[in-house]
Amino acid sequence: MWTEKVVQAALPLLEGRTVTDVVVGVSLLAVELDNGNVGVAYMLREDLPHGCGAFTYVWDGLVGSPAADVAKLYYEGCYVLMRAIGCAVVNAAANDLDLPLDVADPPFDIEYKPTDKVAMVGLIAPTAMKIYQKTKNLYLFDYHIPAKDGLPALCDVDKQKDILPECDIVILSGTTTINGTVDALLEMCTKAREVIIVGQSATMFAEGWKGSGVTKVAGCTWKKECKKEIFTQIARAGGTSSVLPYSIYNRIDL
């Protein structure tokens, strides 16, 4: 399980740390560690369990817990919310890495050929728009987000097993690490010269992804001095655009 390997890579930066604050919104969630580091992850609200009692572990005991233990929820968690919280803790640890900035345009510093077949699992519309200008062979997969004007129609998720092995470039949203599909998806990328994990939930520990077939991870770190603004926006149902002013784009090339 690649998320477990990522957590193992992050543990040296989490030992002795505790979780000091958490906020769960309808689009994103965030945690703060006792050194002030902030981590954010996507909120897969469509997959949440029903009933108020399902979230006891968030409001009763999470704050004050050892960060290393909470990070393990990234692969051990029973629900997507647990795994997202673990992801956010790993992302908070990444603030202590010396990560290169990602200022590439076209996206991810990749040469897109008109003949390239490109798949994106987890629709990130602004990035997809840029890629669609380079190649029309773009296949988009998402469970819950509707199709966007100016982009191809979403493909049936059942077709991933047929389309991904034929693609030259595959872009996986970091949410695939939270919903537990990333391992199977990576196994499908048998032809791809580039496999990129992207977004707020992309965990930036290169050592954890070595051997997976991933060639780049493009995610974010978060300005700890802007913790109040980040938490406020998330608590007010803010999405990606509301917190990006407090983020730093990073990319690692494996």
Backbone angles phi, psi at 147, to 5 degrees: -60, 155
Residue reference for tokens 């968690």: 77
101, pLDDT greater than 70: yes
Contact present, 195 and 218 (Cβ < 8 Å): no
Backbone angles phi, psi at 195, to 5 degrees: -130, 120
Question: Across residues 12-28, what is the average pLDDT?
Answer: 97
At 119 the three-state DSSP class reads strand
82, pLDDT greater than 90: yes
What pLDDT was estimated at residue 55? 78
Where in the chain do CATH 3.40.50.11590 domains reside?
107-218
What pLDDT was estimated at residue 103? 76
pLDDT per residue as tens digits for the range 24-80: 999 999 999 999 999 999 998 887 778 777 678 787 889 999 999 999 999 999 889
What pLDDT was estimated at residue 54? 67
Contact present, 219 and 204 (Cβ < 8 Å): yes
pLDDT per residue as tens digits for the range 170-204: 999 999 999 999 999 999 999 999 999 999 999 99
Q: Would strands 138-141 and 118-121 be described as parallel, antiparallel, or unpaired?
A: parallel
Q: Whole-prediction pTM value?
A: 0.94
User: Does domain 107-218 fall into CATH 3.40.50.11590?
Assistant: yes
Spatial CA neighbour of 4 closest among 58, 65, 62, 83: 83
What pLDDT was estimated at residue 14? 98
What pLDDT was estimated at residue 33? 98
Residues 6+ apart with CB under 8 A from 245: 226, 229
> What does CATH list as the number for 2-97+224-246?
3.30.390.100
Question: Across residues 123-146, what is the average pLDDT?
Answer: 92
Where in the chain do CATH 3.30.390.100 domains reside?
2-97+224-246
Contact present, 168 and 193 (Cβ < 8 Å): yes
165, pLDDT greater than 70: yes
* Alpha-carbon distances of 73 from 40, 225, 226, rounded to whole Å: 15, 26, 25
